[in-house]
């Protein structure tokens, strides 16, 4: 089940998907911008950028099942494919169309797979500090393999390593983490709260075939898009990940956010929002 909830913003909503409650933010009117989060993220970490964009756009941010205010259930599949299938359910249930998709972190493959499944509903995309290819043999895989064991599981689930250490180090300016620390920790209080995060992280090692297949299918859509990148990201480095995206999507222009680390929606909110809005305007 989901954690005990505080009073939610009026923009919050719930939807029953596969017998579980899925929480989402839905704020503003106009063209739909659908944000797809990764780890250790959830919808409320997008509130600052929604405040920049919701005056002109309908901004939607779902919490994947197991995250944020959505239900927890360790018996549910928590793979990127399962999350993508539930995202498709939300898109259809809300009858969203002409979507500008914004994907971040491990939300990349989830969002892009949803686009592949309902291409008639997605018109364009922004890629931000994410990936969608097999990571085996990379430096990331070597680091992740250390978490794939008893000690790593203990650090991640019992000690909150991802939220308290990795997220903090992902910011270009540690003071920015302290500003949002309570929001990160709000829904990561217990091992049960952190379980879906842990599973999705380990899927970075286990879902290589899914990532490659998703990217191959996404290429065939020929969707217009852009890349907006936090250039001081220590985990999804520009040298490795942005360079790969530029090879994969040579027609996508790149907007570099030079003061931002891994979380542009928090670290470069105004600049990030402007990059999204400017791109949408050029497509109209």
Mean pLDDT across 245-271: 98
Q: How many separate domains does the chain show?
A: 1
Mean pLDDT across 142-165: 90
Q: What integer pLDDT is reported at residue 5 of this predicted model? A: 47
* pLDDT at position 262 over 80: yes
Which range among 19-28, 31-40, 52-61, 135-144 shows the weakest confidence by mean pLDDT? Answer: 135-144
The domain spanning residue 24 has which CATH number? 3.40.50.1820
Q: Which residues constitute the domain of residue 112?
A: 12-283
* pLDDT at position 149 over 90: no
Mean pLDDT across 117-131: 98
Q: Is residue 5 assigned to a domain?
A: no
* pLDDT at position 284 over 80: no
Q: Is residue 6 assigned to a domain?
A: no
Q: What integer pLDDT is reported at residue 138 of this predicted model? A: 85
* pLDDT at position 18 over 90: no
- Burial class of 182 by CB neighbour count within 10 A (0 to 12, 13 to 18, 19+): exposed
Q: Is residue 1 assigned to a domain?
A: no
Per-residue CA distances from 58 to 29, 142, 148 (Å): 4, 40, 39
- Burial class of 85 by CB neighbour count within 10 A (0 to 12, 13 to 18, 19+): middle
Q: From CA 131, how far away is CA 181, in angstroms rounded?
A: 25
Look up the pTM and report it: 0.95
Crossing angle of helices 80-93 and 208-219, rounded to 10°: 40
Q: From CA 150, how far away is CA 233, in angstroms rounded?
A: 28
Helix/strand/coil (H/E/C) assignment for every residue in 148-165: CCHHHHHHHHHCCHHHHH
Q: Is residue 155 assigned to a domain?
A: yes
* pLDDT at position 199 over 50: yes
Q: Which of 102, 128, 135, 126 is nearest to 233 (CA)?
A: 128
% of the chain beyond a pLDDT of 70: 96
Segment 204-224, tens digit of pLDDT: 999 999 999 999 999 999 999
Mean pLDDT across 145-173: 93
More reliable by pLDDT, 111 or 145 = 111
Tell me what the pLDDT averaged over the chain comes to: 94
Q: What integer pLDDT is reported at residue 176 of this predicted model? A: 95
């Amino acid at each position: 089940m989901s954690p005990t909830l505080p009073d939610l913003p009026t923009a919050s909503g719930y939807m029953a998907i596969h017998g579980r409650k899925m929480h989402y933010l839905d704020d503003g009117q106009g063209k739909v911008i659908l944000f797809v989060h990764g780890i250790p993220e959830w919808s409320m970490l997008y509130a600052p950028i929604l405040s920049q964009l919701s005056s002109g756009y309908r901004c939607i941010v779902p919490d994947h099942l197991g995250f944020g205010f959505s239900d927890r259930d360790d018996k549910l599949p928590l793979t990127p494919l399962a999350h993508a299938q539930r995202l498709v359910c939300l898109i259809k249930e809300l009858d969203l169309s002409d979507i500008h998709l914004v994907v971040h972190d491990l939300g990349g493959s989830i969002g892009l797979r949803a686009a592949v499944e309902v291409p008639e509903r997605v018109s364009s995309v922004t890629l931000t500090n994410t990936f969608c290819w097999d990571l085996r043999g990379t430096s990331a895989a070597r680091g992740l393999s250390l978490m794939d064991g008893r000690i790593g599981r203990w650090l991640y689930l019992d000690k909150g390593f991802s939220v308290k250490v990795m997220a903090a180090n992902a910011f270009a300016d540690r003071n920015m983490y302290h500003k949002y620390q309570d929001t990160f920790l709000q829904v990561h209080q217990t091992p049960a709260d952190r379980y879906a995060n842990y599973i999705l992280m380990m899927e970075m090692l286990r879902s290589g075939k899914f990532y490659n297949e998703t990217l191959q299918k996404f290429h065939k859509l020929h969707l217009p898009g852009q890349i907006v990148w936090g250039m001081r990201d220590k985990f999804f480095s520009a040298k490795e990940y942005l360079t790969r995206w530029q090879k994969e999507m040579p027609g996508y222009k790149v907007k570099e956010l030079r003061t931002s680390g891994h979380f542009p929606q928090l670290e470069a909110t105004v600049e990030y929002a402007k990059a999204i809005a400017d791109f949408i305007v050029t497509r109209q």
